Amino acid sequence: MRTILIVGAGQSGLQLALGLQSQGYELTLMSNRTADEIRGGRVMSTQCMFHTALGHERDLGLNFWEERAPRVEGLGVSVAGPSAPGGHPRVVDWVGRLDGHAQSVDQRIKMAGWMETFEQRGGQVVIHGAAVSDLDVLIRKYDLVLVAAGKGELVSLFDRDAARSPYDTPRRALAVAYVHGLGPRPEHPDVDAVRCNLVPGVGELFVMPALTTSGRADILFWETVPGGPADAFQGITDPSEHLERVLELMEHFTPWEYARATKVELTDVGATLSGRYAPTVRHPVGRLPGGGLVLGVADVVVANDPITGQGSNSAAKCAAAYLESILERGDRPFDEEWMRTTFDRYWESARHVTKWTNAMLAPPPEHVVNLLGAGSAFPAVAHRIANGFDDPSDFENFFYEPEKTAAYLDGVREEAEAAEAEAEAAEAEAAADDVAAADDVAGADDGAEVDDHAPEAVRSFR
């Protein structure tokens, strides 16, 4: 039986551990916190997961909270215009329907529950904050060591891939608050949707329904430009003050969201989080002082900014790709070539996320501004952008290059005009049929006279 050590008990580490466990592998999971400590601790992320990522959980039977978590049916985009009396008005506002619903389950619930499930199924959990020196000894006991802890000393094992990491400083300052009491969007009161509010030059506010330790909640998540007018959370340690600052920024920059947040309160004492980091891609193979090799997982090796909401989605996809690669390997050694090939399998999807995320961190070019604006006029555009959050590879076809964007929007307009013309023709035909039927009833024996006296508008359809 092959033995594997996974260091880190987040989305990727636990999903992979439970998947390998179900296939008969002997697993050891190392975590720096117990399940109870995770459950009772501070929130860790925003984690809205879309259809494909949720499918990987379903494949392993790990979707324990599917019936309790809000079903996120749509994704909306609002863009703030220049400041005006009463705050910034919206110049763009739309919501696109998702083909498959999304969900956000507080990772305190999910990670604690998955860890307990892993133990109940016979897995070994070691509570220890692993250091490089620990792995240098432990690697001799295992066929494979995977590092899935995206923070701390172990990340230093993996060198930065400069060719894939255009930024070396944080591009956004992050501030999260989980709240109860948020009202619905009046435009779509019956649709649970992630709301992406873009404030040019300031940052972004994301609002999303979630399941937390105290039930249904909503997440308020500011991503602000470092040094900009909304970079206002450094030094705040009091949760109440943190929420107050979140709401102040909402009132000024996104008054349409603030209008439904006037009665919110924090879900619990651990409901806030803030920080910043530079988005970084790292080389996937780490070499220990003694010469042993370890493989990096998920955000250990691909740490994107959360502006596109892909962190947990990418972690789930990485775990699924690594699981498949490990199972295919059979009894052959997990050597360096295999490690790099395994990462390359994940990078096939991760590269699209990285490209899209890095693009969204820069000021949007004119063609992207036009594309976002078109979502208000054309539901097909809103639908396609919304579903790109599930499959970011589709953005290659219409998002990055002005020529492709223009061609796509021209096609959308032509389809909309053709559909409108078809609808008008059908309406006209129906109106003509109604008049003809009325004529038949009024005087079927004198059709010519009826036609001579038919209204001009009706005659024009014949």
Q: Could you tell me if 390 and 256 lie in one domain?
A: no
Burial label, 330 (beta-carbon count in 10 A; 0-12, 13-18, 19+): exposed
Q: Could you tell me if 307 and 336 lie in one domain?
A: yes
Distance CA 328, CA 266 (A): 46
Tens-digit pLDDT profile for residues 348-399: 999 999 999 999 999 999 999 999 999 999 999 999 999 999 999 999 999 9
DSSP calls for 390-438: T-GGGGGGTTSSHHHHHHHHHHHHHHHHHHHHHHHHHHHHHHHHHHHHH
Distance CA 74, CA 311 (A): 19
Tens-digit pLDDT profile for residues 291-345: 999 999 999 999 999 999 999 999 999 999 999 999 999 999 999 999 999 999 9
Q: Could you tell me if 222 and 347 lie in one domain?
A: no
- SS3 for 66? coil
Is residue 91 within a helix (H) or strand (E), and if so which, with residue range? strand 90-104
Q: Could you tell me if 190 and 80 lie in one domain?
A: yes
Residue 93 neighbours by CB under 8 Å, 6+ apart: 76, 77, 78, 79, 187, 256, 376
Domain boundary among 276, 297, 321: 276
Q: Name the packing angle between helices 336-360 and 311-329 (round to 10°).
A: 160
Question: Confidence class of residue 280 from pLDDT cuts 50, 70 and 90?
Answer: very high
Do 203 and 223 contact (CB within 8 A), yes or no?
yes
According to the model, what pLDDT value does residue 85 have? 79
Q: Is the pLDDT of residue 447 over 60?
A: no
Q: Could you tell me if 219 and 268 lie in one domain?
A: yes
- SS3 for 58? helix
| Position 414 in a domain | no
Q: Could you tell me if 91 and 109 lie in one domain?
A: no
Q: Could you tell me if 309 and 288 lie in one domain?
A: yes
Domain boundary among 276, 303, 337: 276
Distance CA 120, CA 398 (A): 47
Distance CA 6, CA 321 (A): 15
Q: Could you tell me if 187 and 299 lie in one domain?
A: no
Q: How many domains does the chain have?
A: 4
Question: Confidence class of residue 187 from pLDDT cuts 50, 70 and 90?
Answer: confident
Burial label, 426 (beta-carbon count in 10 A; 0-12, 13-18, 19+): exposed
According to the model, what pLDDT value does residue 441 have? 61
| 401 against 83, higher pLDDT | 401
Q: Could you tell me if 399 and 357 lie in one domain?
A: no
C-alpha distance from residue 278 to each of 150, 229, 302, 310 (Å): 13, 20, 11, 15
Is residue 145 within a helix (H) or strand (E), and if so which, with residue range? strand 144-147
Do 162 and 220 contact (CB within 8 A), yes or no?
no
**CATH number of domain containing 240:** 3.30.9.40
Q: Could you tell me if 380 and 426 lie in one domain?
A: no
Strand partners, 306: none
Do 340 and 287 contact (CB within 8 A), yes or no?
no
Do 327 and 62 contact (CB within 8 A), yes or no?
no
Q: Could you tell me if 65 and 80 lie in one domain?
A: no
Strand partners, 6: 29, 146
* Torsion sign (Cα): 395, 399, 400, 405: positive
**CATH number of domain containing 347:** 3.50.50.60
Question: Confidence class of residue 454 from pLDDT cuts 50, 70 and 90?
Answer: very low
Distance CA 331, CA 354 (A): 33
What's the chain's length in residues? Answer: 462
| Position 388 in a domain | yes
Q: Could you tell me if 331 and 385 lie in one domain?
A: no
Range of the domain at 116: 1-69+105-167+279-362
User: What tokens were used for 70?
Assistant: 């809000």
